[in-house]
Amino acid sequence: SGKHVVNVVAPDYALQRHTVEIKDGDTTHLDLVLEATFAQVTINTLPGAKISINGVEKGIGQFVGNLNEGVYDVEVLLDGYRKATRQIVVKSKQDQTLNVRLRPICGSLDVITTPMRANVLINGKNYGLLRRNEKIPRRTKYCSPCTKR
């Protein structure tokens, strides 16, 4: 009997603290509903891309999980693409989705062949015959994955 402080704690939920008075010979009931301090966050990007949140790897291609309230730094990495960084603000019970588009790392490749009309393959992909005078370069935009522009 007497006054008692009851604390109820659960991961990802706000602390509940109540003072109850228990009388001799009585049973005191305390029904508590804990309030969530998290939201579900979904991060989508290209298959194979590594997703890190605050420097910790969390998924490949997609992350779906609960994050507590706060500000988070998201980084997405994939070979052949520029690193993408975003900052998200998570508020409890406000689920959100972040779609991260990665930009390929591109450069140009000038191919001059002797003799003319040589077939050009890059990483096994056929870019066709050079049809111009060998002194005029064929300009191919080279990205990963390789694309011709």
Average pLDDT of span 69-83: 96
Better-scored residue on pLDDT, 22 or 140: 22
> Is residue 62 pLDDT above 90, yes or no?
yes
> Which residues pair with residue 68 across a beta bridge?
38
Identity of the amino acid at 131: R
Report d(CA 69, CA 13) in Å as an integer: 11
Q: What integer pLDDT is reported at residue 106 of this predicted model?
A: 76
Q: What integer pLDDT is reported at residue 123 of this predicted model?
A: 76
Which sign, positive or negative, has the C-alpha torsion 117, 118, 122, 124?
A: positive
Report d(CA 144, CA 149) in Å as an integer: 13
Q: What integer pLDDT is reported at residue 149 of this predicted model?
A: 39
Predicted TM-score (pTM) above 0.75: no
Contact 144, 79 (CB under 8 A): yes
